Structure 1
Amino acid sequence: MNAQTVWNVWRRIMREPALQQALLEERGEDLSRFAFSEPEKQAALAYARDASRAKWFVLNYRFRLANSFINALETGAPLVLRALLRRGADLRGLGERFLDMHGWKDYGPFVYGYCRDALEFLAQDDCTAQPAGLRDLIGLEMTVVDLLRSLAAAPDAGADENTAFLRRTPLARHYRSRYRLSDWLRDKTLLGQGDLPAGVQDYLVYLTDYDSTYKFALLPPRAVEILQALTSPCLPVELSSRLAASGAAPLVAADDKHLALLKGCRAISGKLG
């Protein structure tokens, strides 16, 4: 048999529960619905003839991938994972449902890509509908994952700290929550325990450098206005005009602390004064 044909059939067996049933339980009695070529059909029947061994490899593969769902969350979304554990969520069952939707895809070393897809799944699953705020926590850690993946995909632009232009850096991202996530972030023993009070909060997810771990900063509304106005590099006087054009107040001396906060969190670069 052609090795590539055998490999392609084996990958389908690993990823398609209906095909597993047909081959490993029914021993290939009816394969017409699987659109096999004749060489593929022969390869599939060879697996069916040694179903007990093939079944062991399939079960081992599925067990490993279901565990990898938890590992991906542990790596990229530890707060969400802790919240789900505290709520007694069936994480293995969630992992299997996720993998069913994704054809039992093996993400290999791409753990953050796996985590991003897992978070998207959780954000829409009934298990995260309660308590209030849990889906916003998912959104916060999705922002973390997006930041880390963007930094891995693009090298540092090397912004000049001495330039007169203010600009946003690739080291930070803004996230707006509809609930007071600060209650859980201050006391992580409360993660997932009871509804959070409603209330908009703006967070900055940032790294101080490429070798550090990420941090969260709670931003005041004025700092958010300034950050959102920096759609492209500009001089401070231009930033003031942009703020005014958006309906916000132009820069004043009191904004120095907001600019310093954003720069201290590596959200912006350039000379402040």
Structure 2
Amino acid sequence: MNPQVVWQVWRSIMRETDLQHALFDEGGANLERFGLVGEAREAALAYSREADRAKWFVLNYRYRLANSFLNALETGAPLVLRSLLAKGFDLRVLGEEFLNLRGWKDYGPYVHTYCGDALQFLAAHKATEAPKGFRQLIGLERTVVEMLIGLASRPGPSAATAMLRHTSMARHFQSDVRLSAWMRDKKQLGKTELLDGTEHYLVYLPDLDSAHKFALLPQRAAELYQALAQPCTCEQLPQALERMGCAPSSAQDDEYLNVLAGYRAIDVPVKA
């Protein structure tokens, strides 16, 4: 048999629950409904004849993937993971539910991609409906994951530039609840209700060898960062702010731009 065909059949068996039932419980009847004909059908029947051994490998495959759900959150969204554990959720059950929706996809080394998909799943799950603020916390850590994934395809900050512009080392997140209460006291993660109130966070990397950090930005600093979604010169910045409905200039703008540059969130023009 063609090894590629055998491998594709085995991957389908590991990922498709209905196919497992047809092979291991029904003796391989009517495999055509799974698109298995010719060599593919013969390969599936061979696995069916070794049902006990094949089921053991499938069980171990799924056990490993369910464990990797926790690992993905631990790597990319530790605050969300800590909140889920504080609420007493069974991470294995959540992981299996997620993987069922994803067809038991093996993400391999792409842990941040796995984490991003897991956070998308959790953002709509009943497990995160309460307490107030949980889903905003998910949004904050999704921003981290998106930044880290984006680093693989975006250039780093340049040594010199004539424009004010974003770098790939930071992202902005706006919360409509006061996440700062949880950020100050992480023992309360997932336990206490948060108050309404707009907060602006900068997710940033001090350097490529360091872990990400969070900075709580003043409203004006956030406006300046948002205005630079399209690069512009210092002279064009007031017009960019005005288009957003913000005050075109402020006495503290230079100070805030320097703060953002210090976080490596923006590149600033090099003075001659």
Give the structure-1-normalised TM-score: 0.94
| Equivalent in the alignment of 2:213 | 215
Any conservation in 2 of the 1:259–1:272 contact (CA below 8 Å)?
A: no
In structure 2, which of residues 243, 252, 256 is the aligned counterpart of residue 258 of structure 1?
Answer: 256
Q: Provide the C-alpha distance between the structure 2 equivalents of 1:8 and 1:245, rounded to a whole number of angstroms.
A: 54
Q: Provide the C-alpha distance between the structure 2 equivalents of 1:257 and 1:6, rounded to a whole number of angstroms.
A: 63
Any conservation in 1 of the 2:177–2:196 contact (CA below 8 Å)?
A: yes
Counterpart residue type for residue 184 of structure 1: W
Q: Provide the C-alpha distance between the structure 2 equivalents of 1:44 and 1:84, rounded to a whole number of angstroms.
A: 39
Report the secondary structure of 2:198's partner residue: strand
Counterpart residue type for residue 28 of structure 1: G
Further displaced range: 101-110 or 240-249: 240-249
Q: Provide the C-alpha distance between the structure 1 equivalents of 2:196 and 2:80, rounded to a whole number of angstroms.
A: 19
CA deviation after TM superposition for structure 1 residue 219, in Å: 0.9
Q: Provide the C-alpha distance between the structure 2 equivalents of 1:272 and 1:88, rounded to a whole number of angstroms.
A: 52
| Equivalent in the alignment of 1:249 | 247
Any conservation in 2 of the 1:172–1:207 contact (CA below 8 Å)?
A: yes
Instruction: Tell me if 1:225 matches 2:223.
Output: yes
Report the secondary structure of 1:175's partner residue: strand
Report the secondary structure of 2:152's partner residue: helix
Over the aligned positions, Cα root-mean-square deviation in angstroms equals: 1.6
Instruction: Tell me if 1:51 matches 2:51.
Output: yes
Counterpart residue type for residue 153 of structure 1: S
Q: Provide the C-alpha distance between the structure 1 equivalents of 2:57 and 2:252, rounded to a whole number of angstroms.
A: 65
Counterpart residue type for residue 81 of structure 1: L
Counterpart residue type for residue 31 of structure 1: L
Q: Provide the C-alpha distance between the structure 1 equivalents of 2:250 and 2:82, rounded to a whole number of angstroms.
A: 43
Which consecutive residues of structure 1, in runs of 5 or more, have no partner in the other structure?
none
| Equivalent in the alignment of 2:128 | 128
Further displaced range: 132-141 or 203-212: 203-212
| Equivalent in the alignment of 2:117 | 117
| Equivalent in the alignment of 1:142 | 142
| Equivalent in the alignment of 2:198 | 200
CA deviation after TM superposition for structure 1 residue 266, in Å: 1.2
CA deviation after TM superposition for structure 1 residue 272, in Å: 8.5
Q: Provide the C-alpha distance between the structure 1 equivalents of 2:270 and 2:225, rounded to a whole number of angstroms.
A: 14
Percentage of identical aligned residues: 58
| Equivalent in the alignment of 2:170 | 172
Further displaced range: 21-30 or 208-217: 21-30
Counterpart residue type for residue 237 of structure 1: E
CA deviation after TM superposition for structure 1 residue 187, in Å: 0.9
Counterpart residue type for residue 168 of structure 1: H
Q: Provide the C-alpha distance between the structure 2 equivalents of 1:39 and 1:241, rounded to a whole number of angstroms.
A: 66
Any conservation in 2 of the 1:203–1:219 contact (CA below 8 Å)?
A: yes
Any conservation in 2 of the 1:177–1:202 contact (CA below 8 Å)?
A: yes
CA deviation after TM superposition for structure 1 residue 102, in Å: 0.8
CA deviation after TM superposition for structure 1 residue 184, in Å: 0.8
Which consecutive residues of structure 2, in runs of 5 or more, have no partner in the other structure?
none
Q: Provide the C-alpha distance between the structure 2 equivalents of 1:165 and 1:154, rounded to a whole number of angstroms.
A: 17
Q: Provide the C-alpha distance between the structure 1 equivalents of 2:46 and 2:174, rounded to a whole number of angstroms.
A: 55
| Equivalent in the alignment of 1:236 | 234
| Equivalent in the alignment of 2:108 | 108
CA deviation after TM superposition for structure 1 residue 153, in Å: 2.3
Q: Provide the C-alpha distance between the structure 2 equivalents of 1:67 and 1:153, rounded to a whole number of angstroms.
A: 28
After superposition, what is the alpha-carbon deviation per residue over 1:86-126, rounded to whole angstroms, capped at 9, x for unaligned? 00112111111111111111000000010010000000111
CA deviation after TM superposition for structure 1 residue 154, in Å: 2.6
Any conservation in 2 of the 1:24–1:48 contact (CA below 8 Å)?
A: yes
Q: Provide the C-alpha distance between the structure 1 equivalents of 2:154 and 2:246, rounded to a whole number of angstroms.
A: 33
| Equivalent in the alignment of 1:14 | 14
Further displaced range: 140-149 or 187-196: 187-196
Give the structure-2-normalised TM-score: 0.94
| Equivalent in the alignment of 1:25 | 25
Count matched residues: 271
Counterpart residue type for residue 183 of structure 1: A
Counterpart residue type for residue 108 of structure 1: G
CA deviation after TM superposition for structure 1 residue 159, in Å: 4.4
| Equivalent in the alignment of 1:92 | 92
Counterpart residue type for residue 255 of structure 1: D
After superposition, what is the alpha-carbon deviation per residue over 1:40-78, rounded to whole angstroms, capped at 9, x for unaligned? 111111111111100100000000000001100000000
Any conservation in 1 of the 2:162–2:233 contact (CA below 8 Å)?
A: yes
